[in-house]
Amino acid sequence: TQLLEQSPQFLSIQEGENLTVYCNSSSVFSSLQWYRQEPGEGPVLLVTVVTGGEVKKLKRLTFQFGDARKDSSLHITAAQPGDTGLYLCSQAGNMLTFGGGTRLMVKP
């Protein structure tokens, strides 16, 4: 099983600040997904990245896949309280497995 390490584990910031969270593996990803989970809910897909060096933008969220396809980052610009949640990276084959997550709290 490919281990996914996410950092930081916890992040508490003020509204309007920027932040970056990371997902790393010792093995090459064939593809990587980012999910967001809000309290009391199941995770919801944000993005899938497939190609090394790929950059995808979703409003204020920017996702980057490393050139070697062993790491990925999620950057949030001007964070808002609605961004609060648990951010999970995952890799899928027959099994869909997840990293430990980054818990983000954005204070008004």
Partner 1 sequence: NAGVTQTPKFQVLKTGQSMTLQCAQDMNHEYMSWYRQDPGMGLRLIHYSVGAGITDQGEVPNGYNVSRSTTEDFPLRLLSAAPSQTSVYFCASRRGGQGKKKTEAFFGQGTRLTVV
Q: Least distance in Å: CB of 25 to partner 1?
A: 14
**10 is written with which tokens?**
């916890």
Stretch that binds partner 1, among 13-21, 31-39, 57-65, 75-83 (CB under 8 A): 31-39
**Cβ closest to partner 1, residue 28 vs residue 78:** 28
**Residues 102, 70, 68, 74: what is their CA dihedral angle, to the nearest 10 degrees?**
-10
**Residue 23 binds partner 1 (CB under 8 A):** no
Torsion sign over Cα 37, 46, 19, 15: negative
Return the closest-CA partner of residue 92 out of 19, 35, 20, 13: 35
Q: By CB under 8 A, tell whether 97 contacts partner 1.
A: yes
Q: Does 30 bind partner 1 (CB under 8 A)?
A: yes
**What does the DSSP assignment read for 72-97?**
EEEEESS--GGG-EEEEEEEESSSEE
Q: Pick out residues in 51-80 that bind partner 1 (CB under 8 A).
A: none
Q: Is 103 in the site for partner 1 (CB under 8 A)?
A: yes
Work out whether 82 is an interface residue with partner 1 (CB under 8 A).
Answer: no
- Positions touching partner 1 (CB under 8 A) are 1, 6, 30-31, 33, 35, 40-45, 48, 50, 86, 88, 90, 92-101, 103
